[in-house]
Structure 1
Amino acid sequence: MKKMIKTAILTTSILASASIFAQNVGVNANVGTNAKVGAN
């Protein structure tokens, strides 16, 4: 039982950090395209 809970917590934290990472990549991509459009 304890092992299952630990696994669930690990999975949740990995998913959370993955989604945060994806959001940061998306924001950086938006900033990059905006900067290019502004330069043109």
Structure 2
Amino acid sequence: MKQYLNLMRLVLEEGVKKEDRTGIGTQSTFGHQFRFD
């Protein structure tokens, strides 16, 4: 859970805001992923 929260903090602090077709937009960073078993 701590890894997830750290990634969300990174996205919120350093992420790039992008517009999308819905008009809501997204905020993202490049090159991060999670794996679940």
Structure with a larger share of its residues in strand: 2
Which of the two has higher C-alpha Rg? 1
Alignment TM-score > 0.5, same fold? no
Q: Using structure 1 for the length normalisation, give the TM-score.
A: 0.36
TM-score normalized by the length of structure 2: 0.38
